[in-house]
Amino acid sequence: MSRSRILAAATVIASAMTLNAAAFAQSGEVNVYSYRESKLVQPLIDAFTKDTSIKVNVVSASSGLEQRIKSEGANSPADVLLTVDIGRIDEAVQAGVTQPIKSEVVEKIVPAQYRDPDGHWAGISMRARVIYASKERVKQDAITYEELADPKWKGKICIRSGQHIYNNALFAAYVAHHGEEKAEEWLRGVKANLAQKPSGGDRETARDVAAGKCDIGIGNTYYWALMMNNDPDKKPWAEATKVILPTFAGGGTHVNLSGVLLAKNAPNRANAIKLIEWLVGEHAQHLYADSNYEYPVRASVAVNPTIAGYGKLNPDTLPIAKIAASRKAASTLVDKVGFDN
């Protein structure tokens, strides 16, 4: 082979190696620790991989992920943590296992009240804590959170444990709005109005309203839609109830977040940022809206028709970070008033 042919062949091989290396760098992997149920997160993971060719490795658990990342230390494989509540978000930040996301894309798309002031987390979808009311026995279509302590509801309210992360967030929002003293008084009033000991989950709350055990219950917006559209066995519970979007007096409806955090020692940081930015993009936000029945954080993405049927959501303007700061006080008050007893 002539010298010119050898050089040409070498150039072709070098070019091919460069292209392969570039392709690998653009794909690679990202490791996700997730509090979301596998069946809910998998469609997002599959879509991300299809759009980017980046392989996603997922570790799912219902608790303890931030402690796992902490115990793994500098060698932790975690790149991204997906959460289902501001409680999990706050716990991860307090555990010191996150770092600022630093993304102009995220800052542009996600409203400031749904982002950590220091950049350690961002909301990627929203859900509201609302009322499931009996269509037969409840005639009013508007209610305030404060009104839940009104004696007119005595023996008519069903709710899951006051220490559950969803209720803890709502109670923390009440503390942030009104202070601990008034929040304690309110919690005592709500407890006095309970039809039964707090138990079960949000679906069971709808079940008990449908069965006549109570007139109103407290639940997340997406559970009602899932029962109505995706679960024939539980559809009668949704059909017997209506969703009311409550508000704080003079304010808006309490919303909670599904959030994303960047792990402190993320070994695949570039791909982690790509995933985080993809999660607030058009494709992912449509999946959150239409598959999970959550409110998108991206303003250009429409709310699912079932969720829109509840009425226009006017979210509480209180920054999520301020609510998270009141979580401990809310938990202490729940025990102090014996809410779950």
Does 223 show up as a binding residue in the annotation? yes
Cα torsion through 82, 86, 92, 98, rounded to 10: 70
**49: exposed, middle or buried (Cβ count in 10 Å: 0-12, 13-18, 19+):** middle
Query: Which letter does DSSP use for residue 119 in this model?
Result: S
List, in order, residues 6 or more apart from 340 with CB less than 8 Å away.
Answer: 161, 162, 163, 197, 198, 334
Q: What DSSP line would sit under 187-235, residue for residue?
A: HHHHHHTBSS---S-HHHHHHHHHTTS-SEEEEEHHHHHHHHHH-TTTH
Please tell me what DSSP assigns to residue 310: T
Contacts for 108 with CB less than 8 Å, ≥ 6 apart: none
Spatial distance between the Cα atoms of 332 and 330, rounded to a whole number of angstroms: 5
Round to whole Å and give the CA distance between 174 and 169.
9
Tally: H helices and E strands in the chain: 15, 10
Query: Does 35 count as an annotated binding residue?
Result: no
Residues placed in the known binding site for Fe cation: 222-223
Residues placed in the known binding site: 222-223
